[in-house]
């Protein structure tokens, strides 16, 4: 087992990893920008190293700075968290070339899954059901129009290098194709520096269902059921639950096995998530994320596992401590993402926290790096906390969420907490009857 792990991240996810390290008796090294000298992850880690100025490009994304911090601290492994360098295959290669361990999949698997066309192609060959669409990249408008006519409108044009809901445009009909195609390409170029796009059938009212996977890197793999992340704003998740209210035990077992077999075949190592759109009883693969996800705690809650601990174990060459037959769902869990944002426009709202009080009690987990007097810097993303509740069933989880949100105090900045109070009043949220468009429609009429 490692003696020391460096965490190449900040905020709540850095704390999440530090906590796992501490329980495993492993020393932790925090890295931070000059803007984060007072951050909680710096205070909580065993050691900390400043790696550069506020801009993420010069600190949390600076490979030389992070490699130097490893060298100085003597850390043997790097946990990337999510975001930043977590899905950067070149970084993984450099880490390995320096004789250090990257806690995550191989550079090759990250590369395959990071290119959405290659990912889809790979998954299709592994027997995973995919959204119908173009065979690969679509280079010309003429080709796009031909594919649109072939698969039938509406279609969605997506960036091969996409992520975070960027570079996606819907063409409702042939008349929209020219502008949607050009807009998707220019957004892809601007955001990802790569204007390659592909085309998929646009599903009208699907749910976003993702399967949590875990591989041991030697051909063993398990699944830990699904999360329903359909409540989204601008293709970004805001409320997630597990198990999915629309997924039956049989469906879970079927799609779970397909996914586990697929990643076992490629000898995938560590945590991964296979994302699907789900409509009329069918699953359609959209992408695979080769890292721990923001919403992983709801899976941890219902299965009673520590996914970060498992990541560290397999990275150190140990077997998984989980077997498929031992995994049983216990109750229901919900996560809400608390962002420092001002409603109704969700404008980022950094600033000083004058008072912070985390909710507690049975079945409540608050993953947050906030503290009284902390100043949220304006340079990074606006997620300031994840409130995760666990109940014996969905009704209890919803009641617990309402209760916990009522206890939470975040003064000094605006947050998305009022949104969740309002959503919990909605009959569709109470019954679990929503799809990927539900929240956008609701926001249009209610905010």
Site residues, ligand ADP (CB under 6 A) = 131, 156, 162-166, 168, 200-203, 208, 232, 235, 275, 277, 286-287, 436
Shortest Cβ 328–ligand ADP spacing (Å): 28
Maximum separation of any 2 CA atoms in the chain, in Å: 61
Q: How far is the CB of 171 from ligand ADP (least distance, A)?
A: 12
Closer residue to ligand ADP (CB): 208 or 227:
208
CB nearer to ligand ADP: give 288 or 353: 288
What is the number of alpha carbons within 13 Å of residue 340 lying toward its C-beta?
26
Backbone angles phi, psi at 123, to 5 degrees: -65, -40
Peptide bond into 153 cis (omega under 30): no
Nearer to ligand ADP, 163 or 350 (CB): 163
Q: State how far the Cα of 315 lies from the Cα of 268, in Å rounded to an integer.
A: 12
CB 304 to ligand ADP: min, Å? 27
The conformational region for residue 270 under phi > 0 = left, psi -120 to 50 = alpha, else beta, is left
Q: Which of 111, 252, 291, 394 is catalytic?
A: 291
- 135 versus 411: smaller Cβ distance to ligand ADP: 135
User: Cβ of residue 279: shortest distance to ligand ADP, in angstroms?
Assistant: 9
Is 291 catalytic? The answer is yes
Strand partners, 32: 50
3-state DSSP assignment of residue 24: coil
Q: Are 410 and 384 in contact (CB under 8 A)?
A: yes
Q: What is the Cβ-side half-sphere exposure of residue 167, based on CA atoms within 13 angstroms?
A: 23
User: Which segments within 372-441 are labelled E, that is strand?
Assistant: 375-376, 383-391, 409-411
Q: How far apart are CA 245 and CA 190, in angstroms?
A: 37
The nearer residue to ligand ADP, 176 or 310, going by C-beta atoms, is 176
Give the nearest distance from C-beta 133 to ligand ADP in angstroms.
Answer: 7
Could you give the residue numbers annotated as active site?
A: 291
């Amino acid at each position: 087992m490692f003696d020391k792990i460096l965490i190449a991240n900040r905020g709540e996810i850095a704390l999440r990893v530090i906590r796992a390290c501490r329980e495993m008796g492993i020393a932790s090294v925090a890295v931070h920008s000059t803007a984060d000298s007072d951050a909680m992850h710096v205070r909580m880690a065993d050691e900390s190293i400043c790696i550069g100025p506020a801009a993420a490009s010069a600190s949390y994304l600076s490979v030389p700075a992070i490699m130097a911090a490893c060298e100085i601290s003597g850390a043997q492994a790097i946990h990337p968290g999510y975001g930043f360098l977590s899905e950067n295959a070149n970084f993984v290669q450099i880490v390995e070339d320096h004789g250090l361990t990257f806690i995550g999949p191989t550079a090759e698997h990250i590369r395959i899954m990071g290119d959405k066309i290659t990912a889809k192609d790979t998954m299709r060959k592994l027997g995973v059901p995919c959204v119908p669409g173009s065979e690969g990249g679509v280079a010309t408008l003429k080709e796009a129009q031909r594919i649109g006519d072939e698969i039938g409108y509406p279609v969605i044009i997506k960036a091969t290098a996409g992520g975070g809901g960027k570079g996606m445009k819907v063409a409702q009909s042939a008349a929209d194709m020219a502008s949607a195609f050009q807009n998707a390409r220019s957004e892809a170029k601007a955001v990802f520096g790569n204007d390659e796009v592909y085309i998929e059938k646009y599903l009208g009212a699907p749910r976003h269902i993702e399967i949590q996977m875990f591989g041991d890197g030697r051909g063993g793999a398990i699944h830990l059921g699904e999360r329903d992340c359909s409540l989204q704003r601008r293709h970004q998740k805001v409320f997630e639950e597990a198990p999915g209210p629309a997924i039956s035990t049989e469906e879970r077992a079927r799609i779970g096995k397909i996914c586990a077999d697929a990643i076992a075949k490629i000898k995938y190592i560590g945590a991964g998530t296979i994302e699907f759109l789900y409509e009329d009883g069918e699953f359609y693969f959209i992408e695979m994320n080769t890292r721990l996800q923001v919403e992983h705690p709801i899976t941890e809650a219902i299965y009673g596992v520590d996914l970060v601990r498992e990541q560290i174990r397999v990275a150190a060459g140990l077997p998984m401590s989980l077997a498929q037959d031992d995994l049983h769902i216990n109750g229901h869990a919900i996560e809400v993402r608390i962002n420092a944002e001002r409603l109704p426009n969700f404008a980022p709202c950094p600033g000083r926290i004058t008072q912070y009080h985390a909710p507690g009690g049975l079945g409540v987990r608050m993953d947050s790096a906030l503290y009284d007097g902390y100043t949220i810097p304006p340079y990074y993303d606006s997620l300031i906390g994840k409130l995760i509740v666990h109940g014996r069933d969905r009704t209890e989880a919803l009641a617990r969420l309402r209760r916990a949100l009522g206890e939470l105090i975040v003064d000094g900045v605006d947050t998305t907490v009022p949104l969740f109070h309002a959503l919990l009043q909605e009959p569709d949220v109470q019954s679990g009857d929503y799809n990927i468009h539900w929240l956008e429609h609701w926001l249009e009429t209610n905010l």
